[in-house]
């Protein structure tokens, strides 16, 4: 047996019944405890693992420390281990570093972080000086900052009581009502000195900085804790879910084996106790209905019931399989019928993915705690979203779950070069080409075959190499467990999840099928690895050509490292720097986030503001991409950023315009250095460069990143690093190519007409489980009341359109004419609605009543049935009629 085989044995616990870590001590490759991965102690008895470390929000110490660590010997060795570096230099030998894998003492870091978390958190918001909010009360604070304050009981502290509508987007979700306003521009404020401070703010030229003290009240819905905890959810949480009327019930109806069950076939119920669960108490009604409808009424089985209980509307969703019935109760209001229908489908999909079938899910012994925590995670995720969204938007009670988020995985359209980089990284992982790792490839058998992987960034799907059905299931898994949400809100330091799953293809395979190409009877695992805002989910197969997995199968550190290095590669390429800027670039396709500019009056404002922008060149506003395209001709795909535009002329020295907006002063220096770079294959320099690039972020983007992390002092960190490291810049091939790509970034427009009239779009490929839409935080980016109104309208209208278009899709899918479908509804291909924006909102957006022509916008949805159903939803200003077929055509060029 060669050495590699041995190594694998050590990795694979199935060879020994005893604890896996013990066996590793015998291994000749583990010279010390350092080879034990940090997540090792978190592996459960069943081999499953959820390990997570979130970067603390306020952690100036950590930030400055991390790069320094690199200088020490250990870290260098570690970075040598990088998969990317091994690939690119044949020098890299893996085994010597395998030993040194775990050197950084994690305990120190952890302690520090805890301190920060436990202390009072602070949120800093910078308010643009140019913004003047309309205050009814003519209150100075409201005018300047767009918030209204009240005095705390102590008579001194200022408490945020409300936000003005326009300012809402600036503050939420970071600042909530009830937070204390602590400092303005670093000066402590109380009710006594507030007026003086305000006076100073008015005189000051700089944008005021507000520091809020976070006040946590009530039970904190912490999805991180829920994800990592192995025990059943706490009582307080269960009670809260019970009060919110969330509930699950699984009933096995006429099965002989469960007749003895005391609960008459109820196999699972959450939250418990049984007799306090309203769903349990009224289960008879749903059961009867579920039987009656198909048998006696000639309809299909019920899908959803709306009930009123304790003055609360609740949607009860049905999922029946054979004679069993799964009921999930979801409180209405936040989650409407449309959303509830999709959620139950996702829950069923998730349970089947995790357990093979609903039956095994609820009959598996000792599974109750797991299911409890799974469902509490699902419900908390739903609850969190609805709470957040309700706070974001006033008065929207119905269906606050976004249309886009319910239907499929939201993909991001990337420039081709970037897409290639991403795909390349994932393909490398999937290829599992270990020739460089060991000389004797032939004689080692792998533990797993990688079936495919998908990569998310901040909740957006970047790339998927999974089968369509698998992607849907993986997406359901990540979404319902709140992992996607977490990855977009927090900066993940390390996330490792390992779980056995049952892939769709195997579940639906006919057991007696003699087909040669049938997939092997193996076992499948999902490995989720996260770093930063990236989430990489990989499906692995054991069986067939790999070693069979027997018994309890904990994650193999080797494969975890593989996935981690895949993410590392993306970091090395600089994708972690590139994507945030891409997310705010609003280029592919460009959408109009200042709808009022499309009115006669708005055009005037626009012209005026573009002049101001020119003058105050250092303070470019976010709306800048929109200002660009006025002079463009009727070309539909046009080069937005490089067009004859005054602001770009200002930056004419810089070629890559994506960054140009943010790198103002330092840009030239940066470009010089990047021109000087010498291409180097040396892995060390590659690493250092990717670190260095971090230092280069100053100016606007630094501000933005700082804002995103809610961090106060990081600003100064950048500066510090800047000074210390600017000297040794080096550039790798990949980095270079990515920057080249940035040069070519163009803003695309998919609507016809001189002006960009597109407000929002959703392109849904339901078969693939993918949809394309503007980035999720577009509303916050736009920070515009009218735009928010338009988006809200779009979402509610799109739900209705989607429901109608399903008739046509269903009809095309089913060949049986007996299906009771309305023949008129199935013929509808396109459904459009014209809305008028209310004049109050127009007034608030600065369009005065006199010059106010009505503001109309269309929400149109269309289904394209060939070759597989695709749906396109558009929201655009009424001034230019659009042909959805053309728009869809243009959109397809972007993908």
Partner 1 sequence: MSVIAIAVAAESGVPIFSRKRGNNDNIQFSTIASLHGINMFTKCHNLSLLNTKVDNGTILWKEYCKSITLIGIATGGLESDLELLLSCIYDAMVFFIGKKELENLKNIDQIKRDLRQCYPIIDYLLESLDPNSLPRSMIILDSIQSILCPQAQQLQLVLDNYAQNVTGRWACLSIHGHLVATSSDFCELDAREARLLLLLAAAQDGIPLRDTLIYLPLMSPNVAFRAVTCKLLADVYVLVICGATPPLSQIDEIVLQCWEGYAQIIKEAKLVYPRNFPMTISFDPALIGVLVVNINKRRCVFSRHLHGSNQKSRSMSGVHRIDILRTFFITSARDLAPELKIEGDDKDIINGTLSEMYWCSEYHKCHAQRSGNYLCCALYAPSVPNHTMRFLTNQILQDISTNKEVFW
Q: Would you give the binding string for partner 1 spanning residues 148-187, x where CB under 8 A is met? A: ----------------------------------------
Nearer to partner 1, 70 or 301 (CB): 301
Kindly state whether residue 544 participates in binding partner 1, applying the rule CB under 8 A.
no
User: Residue 576: in which H helix or E strand, if any?
Assistant: helix 575-585
- Nearest approach in angstroms of CB 296 to partner 1 is 4
Instruction: List the one residue from 41, 195, 281, 394 that touches partner 1 (CB under 8 A).
Output: 281
The answer to whether the CB of 279 falls within 8 A of the CB of 250 is no
Nearer to partner 1, 393 or 569 (CB): 393
Nearer to partner 1, 370 or 862 (CB): 862
Nearer to partner 1, 121 or 800 (CB): 800
Span interacting with partner 1, options 44-52, 93-101, 253-261, 787-795, rule CB under 8 A: 787-795
- Nearest approach in angstroms of CB 286 to partner 1 is 9
Kindly state whether residue 396 participates in binding partner 1, applying the rule CB under 8 A.
yes
- Nearest approach in angstroms of CB 276 to partner 1 is 12
**Is the peptide bond preceding residue 404 cis, with omega within 30 degrees of 0?**
no
**How many residues sit close enough to partner 1 to count as binding (CB under 8 A)?**
60
- Nearest approach in angstroms of CB 864 to partner 1 is 12
Kindly state whether residue 266 participates in binding partner 1, applying the rule CB under 8 A.
no
Span interacting with partner 1, options 12-20, 208-216, 649-657, 820-828, rule CB under 8 A: 820-828
- Nearest approach in angstroms of CB 288 to partner 1 is 5
Which residues from 832-851 bind partner 1, rule CB under 8 A?
A: 832-838
- 3-class secondary-structure state, position 468: helix
Kindly state whether residue 72 participates in binding partner 1, applying the rule CB under 8 A.
no
> Any idea what DSSP says for residue 554?
P
Closest CA to 786 of 721, 844, 873: 844
Nearer to partner 1, 356 or 832 (CB): 832
Nearer to partner 1, 376 or 400 (CB): 400
- 3-class secondary-structure state, position 784: coil
Span interacting with partner 1, options 112-120, 169-177, 447-455, 825-833, rule CB under 8 A: 825-833
Kindly state whether residue 398 participates in binding partner 1, applying the rule CB under 8 A.
yes
Span interacting with partner 1, options 51-59, 141-149, 303-311, 440-448, rule CB under 8 A: 303-311
Spatial distance between the Cα atoms of 790 and 877, rounded to a whole number of angstroms: 10
Nearer to partner 1, 606 or 862 (CB): 862
The answer to whether the CB of 776 falls within 8 A of the CB of 458 is yes
Side-chain-side CA neighbours of 166 within 13 Å: the count stands at 20
The answer to whether the CB of 533 falls within 8 A of the CB of 487 is yes
CA 338 distance to own-chain centroid:
21
β strands within 576-726, DSSP E: none
Nearer to partner 1, 95 or 856 (CB): 856
Cβ burial, residue 155 (10 Å; 0-12/13-18/19+):
exposed
Spatial distance between the Cα atoms of 475 and 409, rounded to a whole number of angstroms: 6
Kindly state whether residue 821 participates in binding partner 1, applying the rule CB under 8 A.
yes
Spatial distance between the Cα atoms of 725 and 470, rounded to a whole number of angstroms: 45
234: Cβ contacts below 8 Å, ≥ 6 apart: none
Nearer to partner 1, 20 or 858 (CB): 858
User: Residue 764: in which H helix or E strand, if any?
Assistant: strand 758-765
Cα dihedral across residues 352, 357, 359, 360: positive or negative = negative
Token pair for 230: 């192995």
Q: Would you give the binding string for partner 1 spanning residues 329-358, x where CB under 8 A is met? A: -------xxx--------------------
Token pair for 61: 């110490």
Q: What is the dihedral of CA 627, 631, 637, 640, to 10 degrees?
A: -40
Spatial distance between the Cα atoms of 485 and 230, rounded to a whole number of angstroms: 21
Residue 618 has φ and ψ, to the nearest 5°, of -80, -15
The answer to whether the CB of 862 falls within 8 A of the CB of 830 is yes
Distances (CA, A) of 258 to 241, 368, 830: 28, 17, 50
- Nearest approach in angstroms of CB 890 to partner 1 is 18
Kindly state whether residue 824 participates in binding partner 1, applying the rule CB under 8 A.
yes
The answer to whether the CB of 868 falls within 8 A of the CB of 810 is no
Kindly state whether residue 202 participates in binding partner 1, applying the rule CB under 8 A.
no
Span interacting with partner 1, options 138-146, 459-467, 648-656, 786-794, rule CB under 8 A: 786-794
Distances (CA, A) of 532 to 55, 529, 757, 814: 8, 10, 35, 44
Instruction: List the one residue from 112, 225, 309, 389 that touches partner 1 (CB under 8 A).
Output: 309
Nearer to partner 1, 614 or 825 (CB): 825
Kindly state whether residue 104 participates in binding partner 1, applying the rule CB under 8 A.
no
Instruction: List the one residue from 820, 850, 866, 867 that touches partner 1 (CB under 8 A).
Output: 820
Span interacting with partner 1, options 123-131, 148-156, 762-770, 822-830, rule CB under 8 A: 822-830
Nearer to partner 1, 521 or 883 (CB): 883
Cβ burial, residue 483 (10 Å; 0-12/13-18/19+):
buried
Cα dihedral across residues 586, 587, 592, 594: positive or negative = positive
Kindly state whether residue 796 participates in binding partner 1, applying the rule CB under 8 A.
yes
Closest CA to 759 of 767, 748, 771, 751: 751
Query: Where does residue 322 fall: left (phi above 0), alpha (psi -120 to 50 degrees), or beta otherwise?
Result: left
- Nearest approach in angstroms of CB 856 to partner 1 is 7
Instruction: List the one residue from 139, 292, 545, 608 that touches partner 1 (CB under 8 A).
Output: 292
Nearer to partner 1, 253 or 552 (CB): 253
Token pair for 507: 């579940």
How many residues make up the chain in this entry? Answer: 895
Which residues from 873-892 bind partner 1, rule CB under 8 A?
A: 881
Cross-strand pairs, 512: none
- Nearest approach in angstroms of CB 237 to partner 1 is 24
Nearer to partner 1, 434 or 864 (CB): 864
- Nearest approach in angstroms of CB 122 to partner 1 is 35
- Nearest approach in angstroms of CB 835 to partner 1 is 4
Side-chain-side CA neighbours of 73 within 13 Å: the count stands at 1
- Nearest approach in angstroms of CB 469 to partner 1 is 22
Kindly state whether residue 274 participates in binding partner 1, applying the rule CB under 8 A.
no
Nearer to partner 1, 39 or 761 (CB): 761
Cross-strand pairs, 875: 760, 859
Residues in contact with partner 1 by CB under 8 A are 278, 281-282, 284-285, 288-289, 292-293, 296-310, 313, 336-338, 396, 398, 789, 792-793, 796-797, 799-800, 804, 807, 820-825, 827-838, 856, 862, 881
């Amino acid at each position: 047996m060669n050495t590699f085989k041995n190594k694998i044995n050590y990795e694979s616990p199935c060879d020994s019944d005893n604890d896996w870590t013990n066996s590793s001590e015998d291994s000749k490759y583990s010279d010390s405890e350092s080879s034990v991965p940090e997540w090792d102690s978190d592996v459960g008895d069943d081999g499953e693992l959820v390990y997570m470390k979130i970067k603390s929000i306020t952690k100036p110490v950590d930030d400055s420390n991390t790069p320094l660590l690199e200088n020490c010997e250990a870290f260098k060795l570690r970075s040598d281990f990088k998969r990317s570096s091994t690939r690119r230099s044949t020098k890299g030998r893996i085994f010597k570093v395998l030993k040194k894998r775990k050197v950084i003492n994690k305990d120190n870091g952890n302690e520090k972080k805890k301190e920060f978390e436990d202390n009072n958190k602070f949120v800093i918001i910078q308010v643009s000086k140019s913004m003047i909010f309309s205050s009814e009360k003519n209150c100075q604070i409201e005018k300047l900052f767009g918030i209204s304050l009240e005095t705390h009981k102590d008579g001194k502290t200022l408490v945020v009581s409300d936000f003005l509508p326009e300012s809402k987007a600036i503050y939420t979700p970071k600042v909530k009502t009830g937070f204390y306003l602590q400092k303005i521009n670093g000066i402590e404020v109380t009710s006594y000195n507030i007026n003086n401070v305000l006076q100073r703010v008015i005189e000051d030229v700089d944008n005021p900085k507000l520091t809020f003290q976070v006040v946590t009240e009530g039970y904190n819905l912490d999805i991180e804790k829920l994800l990592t905890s192995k025990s059943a959810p706490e009582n307080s949480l269960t009670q809260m879910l019970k009060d919110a009327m969330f509930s699950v019930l699984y009933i096995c109806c006429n099965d002989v084996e469960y007749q003895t069950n005391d609960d008459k076939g109820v196999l699972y119920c959450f939250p418990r106790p049984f007799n306090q669960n309203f769903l349990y108490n009224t289960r008879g009604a749903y059961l009867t209905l579920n039987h009656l409808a198909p048998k006696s009424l000639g309809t299909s089985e019920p899908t959803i019931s709306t009930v009123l209980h304790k003055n609360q509307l609740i949607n009860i969703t049905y999922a029946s399989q054979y004679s069993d019935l799964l009921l999930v109760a979801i409180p209405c209001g936040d989650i409407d019928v449309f959303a509830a229908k999709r959620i139950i489908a996702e829950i069923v999909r998730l349970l089947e993915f995790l357990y093979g079938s609903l039956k095994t899910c609820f009959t598996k012994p000792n599974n109750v705690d797991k299911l409890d925590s799974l469902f509490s995670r699902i419900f908390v995720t739903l609850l969190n979203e609805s709470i957040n969204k309700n706070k974001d938007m006033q008065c929207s009670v119905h269906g606050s779950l976004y249309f886009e988020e319910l239907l499929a995985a939201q993909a991001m359209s990337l420039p081709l070069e970037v897409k290639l980089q991403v795909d390349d990284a994932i393909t490398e992982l999937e290829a599992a080409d270990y020739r460089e790792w060991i000389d004797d490839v032939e004689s080692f058998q792998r533990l797993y075959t990688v079936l495919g992987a998908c990569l998310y960034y901040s909740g957006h799907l970047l790339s998927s190499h999974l089968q369509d059905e698998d992607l849907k299931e993986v997406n359901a898994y990540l979404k319902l467990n709140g992992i996607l949400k977490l990855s977009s809100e927090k900066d993940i330091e390390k996330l490792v999840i390992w779980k056995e799953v049952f892939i769709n293809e195997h579940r639906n395979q006919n057991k007696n099928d003699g087909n040669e190409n049938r997939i092997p009877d193996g076992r499948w695992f999902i490995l989720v690895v996260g770093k930063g805002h990236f989430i990489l989910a990989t499906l692995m197969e054991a069986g067939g050509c790999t070693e069979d997995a027997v018994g309890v199968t904990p994650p193999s550190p080797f494969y975890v490292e593989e996935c981690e290095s895949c993410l590392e590669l993306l970091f090395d390429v600089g994708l972690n720097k590139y994507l945030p800027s891409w997310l705010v670039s609003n280029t592919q396709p460009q959408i109009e986030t200042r709808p009022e500019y499309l009115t006669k009056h708005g055009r005037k404002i626009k012209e005026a503001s573009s002049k101001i922008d020119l003058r105050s060149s250092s303070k470019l506003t976010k709306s800048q991409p929109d200002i660009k395209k006025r002079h463009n001709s009727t070309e539909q795909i046009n080069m937005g950023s490089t067009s004859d535009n005054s602001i770009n002329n200002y930056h004419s020295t810089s070629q890559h315009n994506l960054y140009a907006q943010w790198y103002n002063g330092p840009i030239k220096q940066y470009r010089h250095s990047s021109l000087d770079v010498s291409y180097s294959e040396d892995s060390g320099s590659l690493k250092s460069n990717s670190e260095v690039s971090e230092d280069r972020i100053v100016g606007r983007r630094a501000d933005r990143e700082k804002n995103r992390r809610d961090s106060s002092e990081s600003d100064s960190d950048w500066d510090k690093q800047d000074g210390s490291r600017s000297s040794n810049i080096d550039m790798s091939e990949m980095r270079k190519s990515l920057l080249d790509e940035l040069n070519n970034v163009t803003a695309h427009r998919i609507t016809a007409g001189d002006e960009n009239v597109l407000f929002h779009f959703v392109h849904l490929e339901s078969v693939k489980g993918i949809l394309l839409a503007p980035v999720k935080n577009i509303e916050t980016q736009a920070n515009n009341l009218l735009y928010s109104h338009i988006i809200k309208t779009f979402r509610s209208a799109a739900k209705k359109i989607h429901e109608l278009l399903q008739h046509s899709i269903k009809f095309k899918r089913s060949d049986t004419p007996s299906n009771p479908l309305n023949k008129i509804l199935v013929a509808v291909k396109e459904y459009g609605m014209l809305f008028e924006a209310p004049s109050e909102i127009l007034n608030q957006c600065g369009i005065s009543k006199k010059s106010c022509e009505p503001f109309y916008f269309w929400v149109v949805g269309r289904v394209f049935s060939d070759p597989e159903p695709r749906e396109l939803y558009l929201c655009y200003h009424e001034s230019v009629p659009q042909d959805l077929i053309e728009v869809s055509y243009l959109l397809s060029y972007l993908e």
